[in-house]
Chains A and B, each alone.
Chain A
Amino acid sequence: MNEDLKKTLLNPIFKGNPITVLVLGICSSLAVTVQLKGACVMALSVIIVTGLSSLVVSLLRNTIPNRVRIIVQLVVVAMMVILVDQVLKAYAYAIDKQLSVYIGLIITNCIVMGRIEAFALGNKPIPSLLDGLANGAGYGMILIIVAFFRELLGSGTLFGFRVLPESYVPNNLVILPPMALILLGCIVWVQRSIQKDLQEK
């Protein structure tokens, strides 16, 4: 694997993470991180949507009329999201019910459109696919970290299995969205203290 591809693949996971560095996709990361299972399925869905949308748009990039490019991108993204939603409804009904509207809202997730505009429109299909997948993975990773703490502290369970003893009183604040934002802030803090060049003076 050459250096460029490696950078495309690894950069969004940590150094240029869409949530903690670019601060995109915050809304859904607050909403679907109450339970780990939901967060994992959401992460997987976003990875698929960002990857495939970037791939398709990159394949079309030389033919898309510049004036309507956002609309064309939206059509592609919306199609991918609806496909994912339909497949989940057919094969993972219980989880689809739990994620409810948030699957549909991947369409409005800034990461998808952001990566298409910033990367897929100007790069070849394979790097675009990797960029999309990697950004989805960067998003998913943060989602799963936040969901881990929220499910553990908010319900005392992980993947629905009880981990903390029954005597643990679940912290209801952790279940509410504000605590997700605070946890997200903590992750940003940790990342910036490791990665000094992200710190603003």
Chain B
Amino acid sequence: MNTNSNVYTIVYTTIIVVIAAAILAIAAMALKPKQDANIKAETISQMLTAAGFSSKDDLAKLGNDQILKMYSDNVKTAFLIDAKGDKIGELETAVNDIELQDNLKVENKKIAEGDPNLPVYVFQKDGAEINVIPVYGAGLWGPIWGYIAFNADCTEIVGAYFDHESETPGLGAKIKDEAWFREQFKGETVNFSKPDDSFDIIKGGAPKDDKSAVDAITGATMTCNGLDAALDTWFKAYMPFLKKKAGAAGIDNDACCGGDCCDQGQCDHEHEHNHQEG
């Protein structure tokens, strides 16, 4: 047979490509449920780590089922809020209603458009509520995201976890790998008086008296800047909600200039006032 004829070449390549496509399609379909379960368990274990239920290393040793069980045992309620911080819908606390990283990407766009549906996950730990919110943004090479856990009235960060797609190992990847970086977020607060720049990651070290700033990582300036911007963007989007929580608890009432007006920039005077206080 002449393997160099045109007809043979075309038929041969067609058959090879179709066979390869079929094999890949079957493999993708067969493995999809398992892969989705992995992604879900990964997302949940990031939340659980941020909320302080366990450490990421310990969770990595557990099977997916155990991680899901830990989530359903501890989660109290989960809901969506709009740009004004009002609850607009419940999320099922059942495990299948988890907002995955892809959703965060969509929400990140919607924040810019001013019409996001932002998820809040409320966990119950040692009798107190913990509110976990996601953040998402651009690192140096790809997306970075994470979860920030607040105390019941959202006045204090109690934990954080960050992840990335392709930051440089040993440098930018340290936002995920270095426990000390995450630990710094504990006890920090979101600066309500500066809605556009409510949290800082400072190169060269954050001042000790600044409760809304942490140290950046050496050699990871771009990643830290990206994370800083992501935190600012998402904290701003969540700010009405965080303020409501803080206001309802009767804490920091003075520092909060009353709900939505801040976002519309109508309370410059009160901003001044807050600065003097701080």
Asked whether, in the complex, the Cβ of B170 is within 8 Å of the Cβ of A89, the reply is no
Asked whether, in the complex, the Cβ of B24 is within 8 Å of the Cβ of A83, the reply is yes
- Secondary structure at chain B's binding surface: helix, strand, loop or mixed? helix
Q: Compute how far the CA of A97 lies from the CA of B169 in the bound complex, rounded to whole angstroms.
A: 12
- Across-interface contacts of B171 in A (CB, < 8 A): 175
Asked whether, in the complex, the Cβ of A75 is within 8 Å of the Cβ of B60, the reply is no
- Min CB distance A38 to B, Å, is 8
Size bracket, chain B contacts: 20 to 34
- Min CB distance B18 to A, Å, is 10
Asked whether, in the complex, the Cβ of A89 is within 8 Å of the Cβ of B31, the reply is yes
Q: Which residue of B lies closest to A174 (CB)?
A: B170
Asked whether, in the complex, the Cβ of B23 is within 8 Å of the Cβ of A65, the reply is no
Name the one of B4, B27, B39, B170 contacting A65, with C-beta atoms under 8 angstroms: B4
The answer to whether B112 has its CB under 8 Å from any CB of chain A is no
Residue-wise, chain A 91-116 has the 8 Å CB interface mask toward B (1 for contact) of: 10110010011000000000000000
- Across-interface contacts of B23 in A (CB, < 8 A): 79, 83
Q: Compute how far the CA of A97 lies from the CA of B20 in the bound complex, rounded to whole angstroms.
A: 25
Q: Compute how far the CA of A72 lies from the CA of B12 in the bound complex, rounded to whole angstroms.
A: 9
Q: Compute how far the CA of A78 lies from the CA of B165 in the bound complex, rounded to whole angstroms.
A: 22
A67-B4, A79-B24, A93-B42 known; A176+B13 contact, CB < 8 A: no
Name the one of B20, B31, B38, B169 contacting A175, with C-beta atoms under 8 angstroms: B169
- Add 13 more A-B contacts to A62-B3, A64-B12, A79-B23 (CB < 8 A): A63-B12, A65-B3, A65-B9, A66-B4, A75-B17, A83-B24, A86-B28, A90-B38, A93-B39, A94-B42, A100-B166, A172-B219, A176-B170
Interface residues of chain B, those whose CB is within 8 Å of chain A, are 3-4, 8-9, 12-13, 16-17, 20, 23-24, 27-28, 31, 34-35, 38-39, 42, 60, 165-166, 169-171, 219
